[in-house]
Amino acid sequence: MSILAAVDDAEESRVVQRGYELAQAFGEELVVLNAQPETEELSTAEEIAENAIRLTLDDPENVRAMGALGEPAPRILHEAEELDASYVVLGPQKQTPIGKALMGSVSQLVLLNADSTVVFVADEE
């Protein structure tokens, strides 16, 4: 089992930090995932995940970066299932009520469809 922390960019230290805390507490691997559109390179997604780890954790143990291509919510759900993740950690973006109704959000889709426990990490502000 593992903990999956999904990040939009390398600056999401709160998501990586919370994922790492959970992984350490439960003795599981932390996988930091970034999903990019299929028009991007897989190496771009992997680099973002690696940078998120590097910028957040000084000496990480049992942590790895993962990149994926495709729509974020389905990729997060797929990887969580493949990894048999016990937790999925997300930092949801704020949306207006109309935006949520029309488009939904990655966080909402993951929350409603994940077999794992989903943890939302609020902004640090």
Find the range with the poorest average confidence among 44-58, 64-78, 88-102, 108-122: 88-102
What tens digit of pLDDT does each residue of 16-68 get?
999 999 999 999 999 999 999 999 999 999 999 999 999 999 988 999 999 99
Burial class (CB in 10 A: 0-12, 13-18, 19+), 111: middle
110 part of a folded domain: yes
Asked if the structure places residue 9 within a domain, the reply is yes
Domain contains 125: no
33 or 95, which is more confident: 33
C-alpha closest to that of 50 among 38, 66, 71: 66
What is the structure's pLDDT at 102? 44
CATH of the domain at 76: 3.40.50.620
Burial (CB count within 10 angstroms: exposed 0-12, middle 13-18, buried 19+), residue 49: buried
| Mean pLDDT in residue range 106-122 | 91
**Residue 107 in domain:** yes
pTM over 0.85: yes
Q: 73-97 burial, b for 16+ CB within 10 Å, e for fewer?
A: bebbbebbeebebbbbbbbbeeeee
d(CA 39, CA 82): 23
Q: How many domains does the chain have?
A: 1
Residue 86 lies inside a defined structural domain of this protein: yes
Backbone angles phi, psi at 27, to 5 degrees: 65, 40
- pLDDT for 105 equals 84
Q: Which domain holds residue 8?
A: 2-120
Q: Does residue 94 lie in a domain region?
A: yes
Mean pLDDT of the chain: 90
